[in-house]
Amino acid sequence: MTKEKFLWGSATAAYQCEGAWDINGKGINIWDEFCHSDKNKTGITGDVSCDFYLHFKEDIKMMAEGGQNTYRFSISWSRIVPKEDRIVNEAGLKFYDEVLNELEKYNIVPNVTLVHYDLPDYIGHKGGWCYEGISDEFAYYASVVFKHFKNRIPLYVTINEPTHNAFCNYMVGNYPPNEFNMQHLCECAYNMMVCNAKAIREFRKCNLTSQIGIVHASCLAEARFDTPEYKEAVKYGNMFNNDWVLDPAIKGFYEKELIEKVRKSGIDLSFMKQEDLAVMKENTIDFLGQNAYSRLLVKPYEKGETCATVNNAGNNDGTERAAKEGKTVKGWFESDTDPNIPLNPWGREIYPKCIYNTLLNRKEKYGDIPIYITENGHGAYDIADDQGYVEDDDRINFINNFLAYILKAKEEGVNVKGYYVWSTMDLYSWINGYKKRYGLVRVDYEDGNLKRIPKKSYYWYKKFIEEHKDV
């Protein structure tokens, strides 16, 4: 039997890289709307970004030259179904056909996400993820994609990062609709999982040989101490950051303890319907996409109202220790701080072992489910030389240390099948704009042609892939 090839690649998302926000029949999405509104205090948009829409051939060639054999990207829902009338935009399908043609030319495996934060505006106007009819709209859009692309896409993803998306929408309020509303957060979270299940149901009808999964943002909740109180905080941290996605997606149901904890927190759960739960039970994922950035470090809840901190501004130049991002969930847990663990300029722990602990936990709890590390990367204030070259040793160290733990988990029996650096090239980093860079390839935003310059990490990653092609 031939050994299955491990997938080594990188990742982007439609709104963050495509540009071409209002041409060739594309509809408006909630990020177009937000970025052009007075809610966007920075005035920075993804209207052009790195203009992947016009540069995709160059970018895909660069991936291939860097030894990458897979590419994770997302489809813009509003490019395919621009309006509420459900009329399909053939030009949108054509664009992604051309992207797939180019990937096939270089034998690069596509891993494609149906929605990566950028809901169409007509969904947003009805309540976005809280709109009761969103699951049927999403199922329709998903069916269009499945029927058109079929097995050209071997790996489909329904939704990117339900937890982070929901938290930013309704707990931090930094992503549209920019609310703090825990009732809406729970409705959003539930509807996401109904959307996931109904999309999978449409996928199964097509009898494809491809596989379908979901991409999850959160690593394992951990604590500094092993007391009963801290163990309970870890339990509630995992309920809040992991279980409401992974249990229904993989097992097909929510655990009763989670439902009761949410209900006792004052959430009205009348939006849950038996017919939705039945669809979840029958339509679970084939694989898990696990993103890997940091852990949730928790301690027992003591006081304070529910809140979350995301340091979108960074510390301006990366020279100071940023305020640590974190959460307080009233009656559940509080975020903790370990002074011995370094933070990146945006206040996020740099703790590579979190992915090893997470992967072992996933295997223990969910068995041998295939797992792809669908995002792992280091945001930084990159400094380029006169030729535009970046010596990003901090990024190399970050990725290398995470990869050591990922491969260790694989050696110990976790079914890890692929790895994607975030991101392929520099792109729009949501409301962080363009100063926060993740790319293996630098984009010169001052250059009229948005010149691409591979960073030191690009060449390092190419060598790493060559040395580990047989893992």
> Which residues carry out catalysis?
161, 375
Burial class (CB in 10 A: 0-12, 13-18, 19+), 271: middle
93, 369, 416 from 363: Cα distances, Å: 37, 7, 10
Count Cβ atoms below 10 Å from residue 24 Cβ, excluding itself.
13
Alpha-helical (H) ranges within 25-119 are: 30-35, 52-65, 77-80, 90-105
The amino acid at 287: F
Alpha-helical (H) ranges within 334-424 are: 353-366, 393-411
Question: Residue 192 and residue 170: Cα distance in Å, rounded?
Answer: 14
2, 124, 170, 177 from 30: Cα distances, Å: 45, 6, 15, 8
Question: Residue 445 and residue 239: Cα distance in Å, rounded?
Answer: 41
- The residues pairing with 214 across neighbouring beta strands, listed in sequence order, are 288
Helix (H) and strand (E) counts in the chain: 16, 15
- The residues pairing with 442 across neighbouring beta strands, listed in sequence order, are 453
User: What DSSP line would sit under 424-465, residue for residue?
Assistant: SB----GGGTTTSB--SEEE-TTSTT--EEE-HHHHHHHHHH
* Nearest CA-CA partner of 12 in 311, 370, 420, 400: 420
Range 44-59 burial, b when 16+ CB lie within 10 A, else e: bbbeebbbbbebbeeb
Contact 103, 56 (CB under 8 A): no
